[in-house]
A and B are shown apart, each in its own frame.
Chain A
């Protein structure tokens, strides 16, 4: 072991500097507050100290990874450069590395770990709800667990598909060797990791009572654990915005010859639609959270009614971000679905233009619906019909996606591989999610279902049934390309069926229980709901168990069994499958030229179809 290597820019250095930074910030914060500045009164709860601790800790951590060196060099006038740590061995996974494939792998493991933590919290929730009265957690702790679960899931799953899969495959799909801004790409990942740790430290500061939405006035009254939520979500927002910026810039500027807009794989279009929302919605979130932070530290009155502010302002601002956010969670799943269906139905994607229109339409409309979250908050009743109609209008472009999916499947020669099963499950789950959503967008029925487990079950059908299922579809589909090793198919099928059945048996009944009056975010509930809740909890434990099947299978296949896959195990025509597995550091020997759309599947299509047009061609090798 070469100990000197431990001293450079790496995760270890980052942790040390991060912790040092944390305490430096904490100390600094205590210098500020106190009688010297009247309105920074120290009430025994020093929010400024905690904010500064997180901030300086973040700077320390990032510097330890090597993020500070380039900006400082630029300040001194060194010219721009692109790449850092791209060729070295395993060490590059634990530091700032600008290889988009490394970042993709980092995202997959990093985000996966935090989603697992979020899942453990879900198990705790369901454990508590086994009894209609309080059993293990008191109301405060229960709220914190719900908040931790929801916030962690929303924050991490936001980049759940773009992080690992778009970072890895989008440049390849458009024939590029890198993303437009490689350092920013790496930054988005490490920001998320710091954010995740920060959110978990909330437990040490008393947790937070607001759930993932952070509503006023609670967000102002809550104890210091609220600050963890604020910093977490602000960092997630920054990461999202930069991720979106990088994706759009890459598609606009980095396409290889022949890669016209009309030839972009549909997954790339879904990434564009998502990225526009990320780029523009996340800044609103950041602003809003900064206002909350000012309310908590400098005693401004943005959301404080006594001081002339308004809690409704918070609700508006939060959902101006929040509704685009839910489509940020939905759109990538649609992209995965439509990307996978042609491969396993052996047919071209049906209605490419319709699908693109649908995605961009969703992206646009999602800005115009936010007040459907405020129907029962006491908004002006005259505003309701507009938001109800605009919301229901979104089912139109969403319908386009379903039509394209069904059109692609129609008369296809379908192979029920594991990724295909997950993709098909998306169709089933998202349909239920969409139909239940209509009840929530409809003002008369929302009045009774708002704030109940019905709405909770609805969004689990869309997020978990939609996004998480497509996340797994993407894992089974693409990870063999990323690592070069197969994922065991038999255990994959066991994972799929247990997850699909347990998922529906958990959240299907919750739609009913919600309709019967089970409220969200409450640790106790009426006795007549006990039977249903017991059923749901047991199903949820099976659902958790199916995740263990996945984790076991994944680790076993990728670390121990290591069965190599060839370049193209699914007989796909898309360009990433024309490269070796795993993809070499330089992606392409020479930048390829694109000659057709990416889905030229035809009749009698086995592995290679000689009559189909060539998707990509490699330029001739130069003579030595």
Chain B
């Protein structure tokens, strides 16, 4: 043993971390994940401009390669609307209007889902396929992966909403069972003190990421449909 630690110390000293720690983790984690996502889509942006400028065989974008502007715009709008609404939901949560936040959260889920569905409708009604030149390639790859990210966002919003809903009748600060969501049969104590208080931080983190992703959505829309 040393001054700082001892093998015989009970593992229980680890228990019950204040939730503020995880709250900070979430905030910084969301920012870092956003920057990684930005680089992910930057590769598609690079590909777009590179191939457009090169156009070696003059097949960049044949006439019939023309995805529906209406559907594309609607998909982008639903993503942006979801992000904006989520901001209001955060404000509701801060003001302790929990039912209002849950209601808005449900609409956010519906909007995100609508965005993905619109995108799928667009793919299945368009008049071109992946073999129709570089623009079509970039368009399909980019929109496809953006939709995948939107599904990820949907999952994240859902978990927050689900926790809030599941414990809607639990008094704030009341204990939840230990190891509730972990597969750790070894724990007898909860590892985060009052984990329900993390809903707000998670909501703030996911709202930040949603705003970021709607920014990506706007860039996508502008580059693929407007330019």
User: A residues bordering B, Cβ < 8 Å?
Assistant: 9, 38-39, 66, 69-71, 73-88, 96, 177, 180-181, 241, 245, 248-249, 252-254, 279-284, 286-288, 290-291, 294-295, 298-302, 305-310, 313, 316-317, 320, 567, 575, 578-580, 583-590, 592, 616, 618
Contacts and interface: CB of A to CB of B under 8 A. Distances in A.
Contact of B4 (A283, A309, A616): A616
B57 interface: yes
A194 B153 CA distance: 26
B183 A9 contact: yes
Contacts of B133: 301, 307-308
B59 A280 contact: no
Interface string B54-90: 1111111000000000000000000000000000000
B195 A80 contact: yes
Interface stretch (B39-47, B107-115, B206-214, B216-224): B39-47
A291 B45 CA distance: 13
29 contacts: A39-B130, A66-B183, A69-B183, A79-B181, A79-B195, A80-B202, A245-B29, A249-B28, A249-B29, A252-B28, A253-B21, A254-B21, A286-B40, A291-B47, A294-B140, A300-B141, A301-B130, A301-B133, A307-B59, A308-B134, A309-B134, A317-B43, A320-B46, A579-B2, A580-B1, A580-B2, A580-B5, A584-B5, A587-B5
Given A584-B5, A586-B13, A592-B4, A302 B47 contact: yes
B186 interface: yes
A167 to B, nearest CB: 16
A245 B43 CA distance: 19
Contacts, number: 244
A280 B36 contact: yes
A177 B191 CA distance: 12
B145 interface: yes
A586 B137 contact: no
Question: Is chain B's interface secondary structure helix, strand, loop, or mixed overall?
Answer: helix
B184 A85 contact: yes
Nearest to B155: A75
Nearest to B145: A290
Nearest to B9: A589
B130 A73 contact: no
Given A85-B186, A578-B2, A579-B2, A253 B28 contact: yes
Contact of A80 (B55, B166, B192): B192
B42 A77 contact: no
Interface in B179-201: 179-184, 186-187, 190-192, 195-196, 198-199
A281 B196 CA distance: 35
B186 to A, nearest CB: 5
A73 B36 contact: no
B174 to A, nearest CB: 11
Interface of B: 1-7, 9, 11, 13-14, 17, 21-22, 24-25, 28-29, 32-33, 35-37, 39-44, 46-47, 50-51, 54-60, 129-131, 133-134, 136-138, 140-141, 145, 155, 158-159, 162-167, 176, 179-184, 186-187, 190-192, 195-196, 198-199, 202
B162 A84 contact: no
Given A587-B5, A618-B4, 16 more contacts: A77-B162, A78-B166, A82-B22, A87-B186, A248-B32, A279-B36, A280-B36, A283-B43, A298-B130, A299-B130, A307-B131, A308-B55, A310-B50, A316-B50, A317-B47, A580-B1
A557 to B, nearest CB: 21
Contacts of A181: 25, 29
B11 A283 contact: no
A290 B137 CA distance: 12
Given A84-B183, A87-B186, A580-B6, A280 B43 contact: no
A572 B181 CA distance: 40
A305 B32 CA distance: 36
A288 B42 CA distance: 11
Contacts of A313: 46-47, 50-51, 54
Contacts of B32: 245, 248-249, 279
A75 B158 contact: yes
A63 to B, nearest CB: 11
B51 A310 contact: yes
A484 to B, nearest CB: 10
A607 to B, nearest CB: 14
A578 B50 contact: no
A537 to B, nearest CB: 40
A584 B9 contact: yes
B29 to A, nearest CB: 5
Contacts of A585: 11, 14
Contacts of A583: 5
A299 B131 contact: yes
Query: Which of A284, A287, A578, A583 gathers the greatest number of chain B CB atoms within 10 Å?
Result: A287
A248 B58 CA distance: 45
A306 B59 CA distance: 10
B40 A287 contact: yes
Contacts of A306: 57
Given A177-B14, A299-B130, A586 B5 contact: yes
A610 to B, nearest CB: 15
Contact of B25 (A66, A83, A180): A180
Contacts of A284: 39-40, 42-43
> Top 7 nearest A-B pairs by Cβ distance?
A77-B166, A77-B162, A287-B43, A78-B181, A300-B137, A283-B40, A79-B195
Query: Which of A181, A249, A295, A583 gathers the greatest number of chain B CB atoms within 10 Å?
Result: A249
Contacts of B39: 280-281, 283-284
A317 B183 contact: no
Contacts of B195: 79-81
A590 B6 CA distance: 10
Contacts of A305: 56-57
Nearest to B3: A618
A373 to B, nearest CB: 16
Contact of B35 (A39, A86, A280, A291): A280
A320 B55 CA distance: 21
A468 B208 CA distance: 40
A245 B179 CA distance: 25
A30 B196 CA distance: 45
